[in-house]
Amino acid sequence: MTLYSSRHRFSKFSLRVGAAFSKLPLSPNHWTIITLIPALAAFWMLVKEQFLAAAILLIIAGFMDVIDGAVARWTDRASPLGAYLDTIFDRYVEGIIAFGLLFASLPSFWVPAYAWIFLYFFGGFMTTYAKAAAKEKGIVDEELAGGILERAERLIILFAGIILGAVSAVLLTYVIAALAILSNISALQRIWIARKQA
């Protein structure tokens, strides 16, 4: 069961977040854009190989991604544009973190670390694109879901990997390699699901 499929369990928490942060003079779209700030700070920490600080900033970026949707629902300002911007900025955040990893001195594991980083980001991109393309081409009426790793799971695993990087860069490389394999498997699973529904 993915976090996406069990998201209803977090609805009470989301309501509390929406109620609290809606008191600030920021729109849901403002919160979406502000998410880039901790992501860029995490990028810099990765360049400096301050992995623990990068992990904390990644968690902050993830929490701010919760805030925008929570505020939109609480204030009844959810909109297609807001959902679109949220999706776009989600990709930017993940891309910024992956780009930062390229500057860290990570050891090879069968292949150079940058190859695993590319495969991880490509797999995440294809997992998302497989969903978007299926709807765009009219293969499915509702958003395509499924696969062993969705974005939330990828970020949680990456967060754990970056924390492990503070202990040993080798462990972070192992986690990125696992993400590279699993994210591409997830993309193939979604392509297969779309093919069955075509």
Whether 65 sits among the annotated catalytic residues: the reply is no
Active-site option among 68, 86, 90, 141: 90
Cβ(42)–Cβ(54) under 8 Å?
yes
Burial class for 187, CB neighbours closer than 10 Å (0-12, 13-18, 19+): buried
Residues with a known catalytic role: 90
